[in-house]
A and B are shown apart, each in its own frame.
Chain A
Amino acid sequence: MKEILKMAPAGFAEETLKKIDEIMARYPTRRAAALPVLYLAQREFGCVDDRALGAASRVLGISKVEVYGLATYYSMFETKPFGRNVIHLCDNLACSLLGAESLQHHLERKLEIRMGETTQDGRFTLKNAECLGACAQAPVMLVNDDVYEGLTEARIDEILAKYE
């Protein structure tokens, strides 16, 4: 018999697996790395699709449906493909008191999509966010990793122009 090869679990790229190893070293169980692994999977596969579920399930040692349960429980994971840029508009009370709803209408009109949808060209996905902890600068939104505060319709137009 030939030497038994040690094959890397199918799914993640080599460097992602290296990163996952580093992350797993922080915890006494493999499963504890689930959220960081899901972030990595979402980045690598574009969303937490079936391939991502399979890959995450293998490295975490839990079933695919367990991973699916996590991906659908936590609102920052998407199981369907989404836009290149994700707009999270806060619609909690402080932002709402200061006009978040009309900004939502503005965004929906401007992008020609409803909340939860993605533009035809895949440029933007529009989502509601829960309180972003910037109530003093309400209304606020998060575009990808950037927080924008004190929004007005004009300011939203300027901001969106920055994203391809």
Chain B
Amino acid sequence: MIVKVLTRNFDKPDSHTLAVYEAGGGYRTLRKVLESWTPEQVVEEVKASNLRGRGGAGFPTAIKWGFVPKDSPKPKYICVNADEGEPGTFKDRHIMEQDPHLMVEGTILSAYAIGVQTAYIYIRGEFVLAGERTEAAIAEAYAKGYLGENILGSSYSLDIHVHYGAGSYICGEETALIESIEGKKGWPRVKPPFPAVEGLFGCPTVVNNVETLANVPLILDKGAAWFAGLGTEKSGGTKLFTISGHVNRPGLYELPMGTPLLEMIEEQAGGVTGGKKIKAVIPGGASCPVLAAHELDIKMDFNTLMAAGSMLGSGGVIVLAEGTSMLAALLNLERFFAHESCGQCTPCREGTRWIVQILERIERGEGTAGDPDTLIDIAEHMAGRTVCPLGEAAAGPVKSFVKKFRDEFLPGPGPDAGPSGTEHHPQVAGQDG
């Protein structure tokens, strides 16, 4: 069941402009809040809405805001995480391209709630159009007095700056993002201290995902109860899912939290291409453990997926049809993680490369009987033993792919190998015939 809440403007012509956004009621909430709400009331409302972070971890947003010390004499910052780089995920790019004002208004409201005077939107360097539209939206907002000194005549002032990334996936990790804004390499920091206490430029900082912030105007407009009612018991609101891979209608779908995975694939995404069976699904972006065909009867929300040993992550659903080589798919994912490993800690730096080398060997038909266990062993040493979650992210797919599809990682041609026994690439299944 599609619900158009966050995406309500997406289909309108020129949806990215201020005129269209205002016509749909945009910035009314901002005016209301600045006129009659205290920052504490905003926090309370968001807390009551059960909004959880949409970047992947699903941490309750208002609680994260609450970690910011109230009495700090230092400036506070909010960083908007628009470094959407998780393969299979493209929701934030759509928000920025089709309704950037929603993000901007959400940022202003959240900044007001936390007492922030400067916000940075960290956009992937590759997102040219999203960046242009975000910058244009910010300029429009300044021109209309929604940003800058004394917003809408209130005593509240806020500046928003756009900061472009430059090609590093790990900058989506919040402390790496902070380092990157500070002009450093995107090396995640050791925690504690957490950003809420010592973040950007050593000051209290909140990092929120684009989609998370885009929900805030809606919560404050229609109320926490309405928002909470859209979701499950523990997680309010709708969720933007992006479905890609072997489906007939890949795309962005706004659905209630807890929508069954199979319903998503069959009803929204139009089923698997060529009428094939599903072999496996990665439910929440490249770093989430894969679900095998028998595990797909599952509701898509943070807790259910966690219980099933996977994650909702960023809601990027990648569907793999029968005939797909799981070896080639895993190799593709692990090459990505090896390329994006920052290199500061040993298990991730050395482990990701070794994993890729073993997978390449298996793909060449030179694998050994011990390889599957070695892969799992390396992955287990990476999970939870690295500075940041990238080690875990790279390990999850290895463990789940190898455990669930072990035969394909053993020496000799696997069940889904091409006719010659050497053609293992996913594209074999992707092409008709």
Contact = CB atoms under 8 A, between A and B. Distances in A.
A92 B335 CA distance: 9
Nearest to B163: A35
Contacts of B168: 73-75
Nearest to A74: B166
A135 B88 contact: yes
A108 interface: no
B329 interface: yes
B186 interface: yes
Given A93-B318, A131-B89, A136 B250 contact: yes
B353 interface: no
Contact of A96 (B252, B282, B332, B431): B332
B126 interface: yes
B161 A26 contact: yes
B163 A136 contact: no
Interface string B286-327: 100000000000000000000000000000101010001000
A98 B336 contact: no
B184 A130 contact: no
Contact of A133 (B75, B127, B282, B339): B127
A60 B251 CA distance: 42
Interface in A114-164: 129-138, 142, 145-147
A131 B87 contact: yes
A73 B186 contact: yes
Nearest to A128: B339
Contacts of A20: none
A39 B164 contact: yes
Contact of A98 (B159, B185, B329, B427): B427
A136 B183 contact: no
Interface string A30-73: 01111110110000000000000000000010100000011001
Give the interface centre of B168, B328, B342, B430 by most chain A CB atoms within 10 Å: B430
B2 interface: no
Interface stretch (A2-10, A11-19, A99-107): A99-107
Given A76-B125, A135-B316, A145-B128, A70 B183 contact: yes
A94 interface: yes
B165 interface: yes
Interface string B139-167: 00000000000000000000101011111
A39 B128 CA distance: 13
A82 interface: no
B47 interface: no
A93 B245 contact: yes
B52 interface: no
Contacts of A60: 183
Given A135-B244, A136-B252, A94 B183 contact: no
Nearest to B397: A93
A88 B125 CA distance: 13
B1 interface: no
Nearest to A32: B183
Interface in B248-304: 250-252, 282, 286
Contacts of B101: none
B126 A94 contact: no
A138 B425 contact: no
Contacts of A130: 85, 87, 167, 169, 336, 339-340
B242 interface: yes
Nearest to B427: A99
B184 A133 contact: no
Contacts of A97: 245-246, 318, 320, 324, 329, 426-427, 429-430
Interface in A77-92: 77, 88, 91-92
A99 B432 CA distance: 11
Interface of A: 26-29, 31-36, 38-39, 60, 62, 69-70, 73-77, 88, 91-94, 96-102, 129-138, 142, 145-147
6 contacts: A34-B183, A35-B166, A97-B329, A101-B427, A136-B242, A136-B243
Interface of B: 75, 84-90, 92-93, 124-129, 159, 161, 163-169, 180-186, 201, 242-246, 250-252, 282, 286, 316, 318, 320, 324, 328-329, 332-333, 336, 339-340, 342, 425-427, 429-431
Given A73-B186, A133-B85, 20 more contacts: A28-B201, A31-B182, A32-B181, A35-B163, A35-B166, A70-B183, A73-B168, A74-B166, A93-B329, A94-B250, A96-B329, A96-B332, A97-B320, A98-B427, A129-B126, A130-B85, A131-B286, A133-B126, A135-B244, A136-B90
